């Protein structure tokens, strides 16, 4: 696939994890536990890191959560991003508590003096800020402008915020401008990458829905942009266990050949030629591959039409026949195995790699 070269944005350091400027596209997600419950939140941070998050965002919704947030920052294995809405004083608390980055929507922080207090404190502490513009919470002066499309409003708002931050000599900026629909997302981020080519972009389709719909919307929206070289960090938003989010993000990056984590399963859709019960076999192989982190390829194919070709191209593969399968490893036929032993024999060879 012909990929456009990745846009060269200004690099931002978030607690030792770089975003933009040629760094790998960073995967992030957000906890959904109560921030006041540090144990539960840290447990979820660890789950998200195990699932592939480079960074994790945690909401700081109240003063009562500050001490717990401080402990989360101190004990997290990855830098923590504080999610702040409305109250600029909580942004100041988050900086003091050890956040590596803030996510704020300047439009809901209040007057510029409050935003400036956050910018100045972050600048002094070396804390990055994501300006998170959202279609659902555009500031009124932009939302009420006649004659502008939603992408134009999102871009207009973003450009004004970035200019304000830069006028104040703050440059550790990451930018997002999210909408819940895919065409708006694509048009908005394409414009942002043209208007603000130096600013690292955080990609996401917000409020994308439950697992299947959210995966489809994120894959199409973020996939198009990433294939065009746009985007420096990403969050897949699902109404689901957040641990599902990095898996989808990594899937998108792997499909595009941008970043690879874990195995790739090649399996056929089955048809009238297939003479084994392939679907449960492929599903079980897929489930067991979730425990494998190395970037191997595994093929599970239903018959001899495409089976031997795909199975021999994969690191390990099977091409099924009548009640049995030929087992391949790195292009060589190893042996014939009965249908009820396909999965175990496949994993015996995967473990030996």
Site for ligand SF4 in 283-342 (CB under 6 A): 301-303, 305-307
Task: List own/partner pairs for 45-51 with CB under 8 A and 24 or more apart.
Answer: 45/72, 45/76, 45/77, 45/78, 45/80, 46/77, 47/243, 48/242, 48/243, 48/245, 48/246, 49/77, 49/78, 51/243, 51/245, 51/246, 51/247
How crowded is residue 113: how many other Cβ atoms within 10 Å of its Cβ?
Answer: 8
**Nearer CB in complex with ligand SF4: 25/281:** 281
**Nearer CB in complex with ligand SF4: 128/342:** 342
**Nearer CB in complex with ligand SF4: 21/309:** 309
Contact 29, 48 (CB under 8 A): yes
Among all chains, which residue has been given the structure tokens 């001490």?
67
Site for ligand SF4 in 166-225 (CB under 6 A): none
Annotated binding residue at 93?
no
Instruction: Tell me the β-bridge partners of 317.
Output: 299, 328
* Pairing mode of beta strands 316-320, 324-329: antiparallel
**Nearer CB in complex with ligand SF4: 19/268:** 268
Annotated binding residue at 310?
yes
- Longest pairwise C-alpha distance within the chain: 74
**Nearer CB in complex with ligand SF4: 42/303:** 303
**Nearer CB in complex with ligand SF4: 102/342:** 342
Contact 345, 319 (CB under 8 A): no
How crowded is residue 114: how many other Cβ atoms within 10 Å of its Cβ?
Answer: 17
Annotated binding residue at 187?
no
**Nearer CB in complex with ligand SF4: 258/305:** 305
Contacts with ligand SF4 by CB under 6 A: the residue count is: 12
Give the residue nearest to ligand SF4 (CB).
Answer: 302
Annotated binding residue at 268?
yes
**Nearer CB in complex with ligand SF4: 16/272:** 272
Number of alpha carbons in the 13 Å side-chain half-sphere of residue 19: 31
DSSP H or E stretch at residue 125: helix 112-125
**Residue 186 burial by Cβ neighbours in a 10 Å radius (0-12, 13-18, 19+):** buried
Token pair of 145 as six digits: 């402008």
Contact 26, 17 (CB under 8 A): yes
Site for ligand SF4 in 68-97 (CB under 6 A): none
Encoded one letter per residue, x for contact with ligand SF4 by CB under 6 A and - for no contact, window 260-279 reads --------xxxx-xx-----
**Rounded (10°) CA dihedral 331, 334, 335, 341:** -90
**Rounded (10°) CA dihedral 236, 237, 241, 243:** 20
Binding site: which residues?
268, 271, 303, 310
Q: Where on the chain is the footprint of ligand SF4 (CB under 6 A)?
A: 268-271, 273-274, 301-303, 305-307
């Amino acid at each position: 696939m012909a990929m456009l070269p990745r846009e060269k944005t200004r690099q931002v350091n978030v607690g030792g994890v770089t975003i933009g400027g040629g760094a790998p596209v960073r995967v992030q997600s957000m906890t959904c536990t109560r921030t006041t419950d540090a144990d539960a939140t840290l447990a979820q941070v660890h789950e998200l890191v195990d699932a592939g998050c480079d960074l994790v965002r945690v909401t700081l919704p109240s003063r009562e959560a500050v001490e717990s947030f401080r402990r989360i920052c101190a004990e997290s294995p990855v830098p923590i991003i504080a999610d702040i809405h409305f109250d600029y004083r909580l942004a100041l608390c988050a900086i003091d508590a050890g956040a590596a980055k803030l996510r704020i929507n300047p439009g809901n922080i209040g007057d510029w003096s409050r935003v400036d207090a956050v910018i100045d404190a972050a600048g002094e502490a070396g804390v990055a800020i994501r300006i998170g513009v959202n279609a659902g919470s555009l500031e009124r002066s932009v939302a009420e402008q006649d004659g502008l499309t939603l992408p134009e409003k999102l871009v207009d708002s973003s450009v004004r915020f970035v200019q304000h931050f830069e006028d104040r000599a703050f440059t550790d900026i990451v930018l997002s401008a999210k909408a819940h629909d895919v065409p708006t997302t694509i048009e908005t981020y394409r414009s942002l990458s043209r208007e603000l080519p130096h600013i690292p972009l955080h990609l996401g389709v917000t409020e994308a829905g439950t697992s299947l719909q959210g995966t489809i919307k994120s894959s199409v929206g973020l996939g198009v942009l990433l294939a065009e070289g746009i985007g420096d960090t990403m969050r897949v938003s699902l109404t689901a266990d957040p641990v599902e989010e990095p898996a989808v993000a990594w899937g998108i990056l792997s499909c595009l050949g941008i970043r690879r984590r874990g195995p790739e399963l090649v399996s056929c859709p089955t048809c009238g030629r297939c003479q084994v019960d392939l679907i449960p076999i492929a599903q079980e192989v897929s489930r067991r591959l979730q425990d494998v982190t190395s970037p191997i390829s595994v093929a599970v194919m239903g018959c001899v039409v495409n089976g031997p070709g795909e199975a021999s191209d994969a690191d390990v593969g099977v091409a099924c026949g009548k009640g049995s399968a030929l087992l391949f490893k790195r292009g060589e036929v190893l042996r014939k195995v009965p249908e009820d032993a396909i999965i175990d024999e496949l994993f015996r060879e995967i473990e030996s790699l």
